[in-house]
Structures are given as structure tokens and as C-alpha cells.
Amino acid sequence: MIGGHGGNIYGLAQQLKCRPSDISDMSANVNPLGPIPALLEHLQVGISAIAALPEVDAGGIVNAFSRFYDIDPRQVMAGNGTTELIYLIPRALGVKKALVVGPTYSDYRDACTMNQVACDHLICREEDDFVPDMQAIRSAATTADLVFLCNPNNPTGALVVRPDVDALCRSLPDTVFVVDESYLPFAPAPADATMIGSDLPNVVVLNSMSKAFRIPGLRIGFVKAPGPLMQALAPLALPWSVNSLAQAAVQWLMDRPERVEPFLSSTRNMLEQEKRIIEAYFHKKSGARCFPSATSFVLIRLPDGLNAQTVWRHMADNRILIRDCSNFAGLSDAFIRISLKSEAENRRATELLVQLCRDHANPRRRHAH
């Protein structure tokens, strides 16, 4: 496994000599309102399913997922989380050169490295709030046969609307675009951005169940690809890669849009309210800057001279785990990311962060502590 991920709550719990549940994990980008209690009850009742092998190709949940999104099941494949699919794509498609639009999730680059694929980064500009420049991508991708675009992006939270993504993909018909929509359910109007219904022959869409429904331990992801590309991907799919409980969870969720849609709507409302409060608090009371985010997390630039490792350690000592973003290609040790949790946890974390920033700006006050 190639490194490059964020916080390890188990390791921190060992350091602090406490239980993982004693730590507020604001490094994991999952739904603060999830998982849905009725889903957990369903899985507890159905736990005996682990006594038998799951469906070998996860065909049942592929069909359920396809019905939910009104797409052709022949263009859908399930995997052990989107990460498994990210590593599969460059190998299956015989990619020679890839472009990663960053700063972003390290596994796009790592998937290329593992498959001996040359990989360039196009780093979005901080002065543009890290929103991707479509013309810059178009120019950089002319020599690439695969482009990874996370939309909305991790860790920046930047979102590109569907017409812009569509126009980009149409402008380079010989380049395959992998659009990772793992965080799109958190966006205010996901239907206005998703490419999952696209009929373009060069668009591959990744969809994750982990984040929006807060079931990352079950490892469930889907890829939607046009026929010829799916014909390249499908032969490399591993048998039984989606376990029995994961399949049961997807089936329950996809068969209950009347439960899922209100849950996601409530999540979006809660996130928008919390982000407004947090951003206003930082703006008024610290030298830190919050970047606009369409997701469940916020990227923060720290005040000059205060580095991410210092902040990470301070928060960890207070049993709060945040994301030090210094190992994202294109970011420095001036950046951290916090993922929203409950209202109380968000307030406590914000107050600790703002106090640290203010103490840093006022050395006399810092020494008084």
C-alpha cells in the first residue's frame, strides 16, 4: 500500500491511552447525521448473512443502484469502495499518461504509480478558491489519455457545475475523464452537477456509499462507464469483492428513496448552516481563512507562521483529530481540513482553533498561558 492518507484514530487513541470513541474524528469525511438508525437495525437483524458467500458479482446491488439513478445496469460495476476501482481503472484501460487535477485525493496518483502510468498534476490556484480552470485543464490534458477530476473536490470542497464538466469532456473526445462524485451528495444541488446520466463515450463516474451514508467500514463503491470502457473494466473485477453486509446495506438504501432523499436533504441543510457559522466565526476572530466548500468538510489556511503539525498536535491533545494537509500535492503545511460533526463538536473544535490562532498572533498572550 502506498502512503498519503490522513488521520489514524486508532494510533492516536493508543498515544492518548484512550478509546477511539473518546476522540472526535474530524479527519474523516463522513455524514455527521449518519448512519441511518433503521439501516443499522436492518444489518443487525441480517448479520447471519455473513455465514454464506455474498453474490459473486454483486449483481443485485448493481441493479438496485441502476434503478435508483435510472441508468443502464450494464454500464455499472460494484467494488470494494471507490478506492479499489480507482486502482483498477488505469490498468484496465491501458493508460500511458494521466493528469490529476489537484490538490486532491492521493490515490489517483498512487493508482497511476502502482500501474506504471506517467502522471502529471495540474494544481488549481488558491486565488481562485481552488476552483478548477476548465481551459487550463483542457490545455494540460491534450497529451493525457486519462484525467482524474474529483467533483466536489477533496480537500478543497470546490465544485464544478455539470455544463462545464460536460463541455470539457466533449472538447477532448479521445481522453477518458474519471469524475469522482464521492462527495456530491453533500452539495446543495447534486442533480445540477452529477455526470452519472451522461451518455458521453469518454466519461467514467465514481460513486461512493461510504461518505453520504456513513458506512465507510463496509467499503462500497460503484463505477458507471459507457459500454466499451465497461468491457475493459469488467474482466478485471474481483469475485466476491463486495461483502454480504455491504450488499445488504446497498439493497436497503437503494430500495428506499423515500427514506434516503429526506435524510440527504436534512444532511445538506445541517451542513450549510454549520459552515456559515464556522466561516463567520473564523472570519471575525482569527487570521485563518476558510475556503468555500460544497461538501461536509472545510479547508482552512492557517495564519502566517502557524503550521499544520503544531495545530494537529494541539487538537490531538484535546482529543480532536483533524487533517494535516501538508502531504497533499499542491498544498503546504499552512493548510488543515476539518470535517463537520455534531453542533457541539463543531463549536468546541472551532473555539480551540480560533483560540490557538489568536494566541499565535499575540505572543504576550501565548506566554501568559
Neighbour count for residue 310 (Cβ, 10 Å):
15
The answer to whether 42 and 168 have CB atoms below 8 angstroms apart is no
DSSP letters for 201-260: TTEEEEEESTTTTT-GGG--EEEE--HHHHHHHGGGPPTT-S-HHHHHHHHHHHT-HHHH
> In angstroms, rounded to a whole number, what is the distance separating the alpha carbons of residues 163 and 159?
12
> In angstroms, rounded to a whole number, what is the distance separating the alpha carbons of residues 299 and 295?
10
User: What pLDDT, in 10s, does the model give residues 59-111?
Assistant: 999 999 999 999 999 999 999 999 999 999 999 999 999 999 999 999 999 99
- Scan for cell 463496509, then name that residue: 218
Which domains, from first to last, does the chain contain? 9-30+259-368 (3.90.1150.10), 38-255 (3.40.640.10)
> In angstroms, rounded to a whole number, what is the distance separating the alpha carbons of residues 274 and 295?
11
User: What pLDDT, in 10s, does the model give residues 7-53?
Assistant: 588 888 888 888 888 889 999 999 999 999 999 999 999 999 999 99
pLDDT, position 244: 97
Mean pLDDT of the chain: 94
Residue type, 111: A
Asked if residue 185 has pLDDT above 60, the reply is yes
Asked if residue 3 has pLDDT above 80, the reply is no
> In angstroms, rounded to a whole number, what is the distance separating the alpha carbons of residues 139 and 136?
5
Helix, coil or strand: residue 25: strand
Report residue 275 as a C-alpha cell.
459552515
Report residue 170 as a C-alpha cell.
466533449
> In angstroms, rounded to a whole number, what is the distance separating the alpha carbons of residues 345 and 26?
9
Output the CA–CA distances (angstroms, integers) from residue 17 to 291, 316, 348, 352, 353, in the order listed. Answer: 34, 12, 21, 21, 23
Asked if residue 207 has pLDDT above 80, the reply is yes
Q: What is the mean pLDDT of residues 164-172?
A: 98
User: What pLDDT, in 10s, does the model give residues 286-306?
Assistant: 889 999 999 999 999 999 989
pLDDT, position 251: 97
Quote the pTM value.
0.94
Model confidence at 1, pLDDT cuts 50, 70, 90, reads very low
> In angstroms, rounded to a whole number, what is the distance separating the alpha carbons of residues 224 and 73?
9
What pairing do the DSSP bridges indicate for beta strands 221-224 and 146-150? Answer: unpaired
Asked if residue 2 has pLDDT above 50, the reply is no
> In angstroms, rounded to a whole number, what is the distance separating the alpha carbons of residues 160 and 43?
36
Asked if residue 368 has pLDDT above 80, the reply is no
> In angstroms, rounded to a whole number, what is the distance separating the alpha carbons of residues 35 and 361?
40
Which residues, other chains included, contact 356 with Cβ-Cβ below 8 Å and sequence gap of 6+? Answer: 306, 311, 314
User: What pLDDT, in 10s, does the model give residues 238-247?
Assistant: 999 999 999 9
Q: What is the mean pLDDT of residues 341-353?
A: 95
Angle, vertex CA 74, rays to CA 70 and CA 76, nearest 5 = 70
- How many Å separate Cα 144 from the centre of its chain? 24
Report the chain's terminal Cα–Cα distance, integer Å: 42
> In angstroms, rounded to a whole number, what is the distance separating the alpha carbons of residues 351 and 348?
5
Report residue 338 as a C-alpha cell.
476539518
User: What pLDDT, in 10s, does the model give residues 109-158?
Assistant: 999 999 999 999 999 999 999 999 999 999 999 999 999 999 999 999 99
What pairing do the DSSP bridges indicate for beta strands 76-79 and 221-224? Answer: antiparallel
pLDDT, position 5: 53
- How many Å separate Cα 190 from the centre of its chain? 14
Residue type, 260: V
> In angstroms, rounded to a whole number, what is the distance separating the alpha carbons of residues 185 and 272?
13
Output the CA–CA distances (angstroms, integers) from residue 22 to 25, 29, 212, 310, 355, in the order listed. Answer: 9, 18, 23, 21, 22
What pairing do the DSSP bridges indicate for beta strands 297-301 and 203-208? Answer: unpaired
Q: What is the mean pLDDT of residues 209-226?
A: 96
pLDDT, position 287: 85
pLDDT, position 11: 84
